[in-house]
Chain A
Amino acid sequence: MPDKPEQKNMRLVKAFMSGPMLVTRVCIWLREALMSLSIEETLIGELILVAEEVIANIDEHGQLPDNAEIEVFLTSTAREMQLEITDPGVPFNPLLEAGGASLGAEIDSAEIGGLGVHLITELTDYQFYRREAQRNILHLTKQLGAKHG
């Protein structure tokens, strides 16, 4: 019998309507979902931060219609966590903003998207954007046990 129970693959999905406190609503759900998976607190914090930066980017650049539906998919396997966030906003690849991020002394005047994407790319291992069925789809993977920073 193994010391720890084998982690099963799990996929959770939740839809959120655009509007006030969108970031907080997503983060509260994500925290509860991650805690149910018995993920370590540091990893939970990093994944929530990544999700916040993605959602903030969507809010900033997506030009979302009223009552737009943002979907968050969380996939957990023994090796990695995957976060996929889709929105019906205008075509926008946030990953293209990463190179334009101003860091350090110019942080307060940097574009919101650039800073957020810098955090996203630093705290995840793989990032992939696609446009499908008139939705932006950002797929992020964080390998478990990988070293960051």
Chain B
Amino acid sequence: MKLNTNITIDDDMSVARAALVGSLNTDTAPAFDEILQELVAKGYQLTVLDMKDLEYISSAGLRVIFKAAKQSKAAGNRLAAANRKPHIDKVFEILKALPDMAVFANDEELDEYLDAMQSQVKGG
């Protein structure tokens, strides 16, 4: 029932990727909140929460994610979720937790988005 967060940064693209491994629940949400707040405060254009290895999420976890999503949006950036498993998706849907947040069903969708971002950057 632990949560590990592995962060990788692409400074050129201004993209941060946080891979969540384990459970985002009432007990693990406070520590994740600190990590995510720190990450969002750095002002990357896009922060992606990779949920491929996220096994479980509760309302406490969703609250942390959507606080960060609203803060990102207010700063002109985006927070996105990628690779949500069906049972994680269901929790998002029940709580109608989609506003202010991009969702990528898989790595391919995310890569397409990043390619488009890169094209915009190159295009000036």
Contact = CB atoms under 8 A, between A and B. Distances in A.
Contacts of A119: 58-59, 91, 94-95
Contacts of A52: 25-26, 58
Contacts of A149: 90, 93-94
A59 B106 CA distance: 36
A23 interface: yes
Contacts of A46: 87
A122 B26 contact: no
B1 A28 contact: yes
B111 interface: no
B98 A104 contact: yes
Contact of B26 (A56, A103, A105, A118): A56
Interface in B61-85: 62-63, 66-67, 69-70
Given A23-B27, A49-B91, A56-B26, A104 B63 contact: no
B27 A21 contact: yes
Nearest to B57: A49
Contacts of B27: 21, 23-24
A112 interface: yes
Given A23-B25, A23-B27, A118-B95, A56 B87 contact: no
B96 interface: yes
Interface string A91-106: 0000000000001110
A115 B91 contact: no
Contacts of A28: 1
Contacts of B67: 108
Nearest to A114: B59
A38 interface: no
A49 B61 CA distance: 12
Interface string B102-116: 000000000000000
B27 to A, nearest CB: 5
A100 to B, nearest CB: 14
A87 interface: no
Contact of A104 (B25, B58, B59, B97): B97
B95 A115 contact: yes
B13 to A, nearest CB: 27
Contact of A116 (B56, B59, B97, B100): B59
B17 to A, nearest CB: 22
B56 A45 contact: yes
Those 5 A-B pairs whose CB atoms lie nearest each other, nearest first:
A108-B67, A115-B59, A105-B99, A104-B96, A103-B96
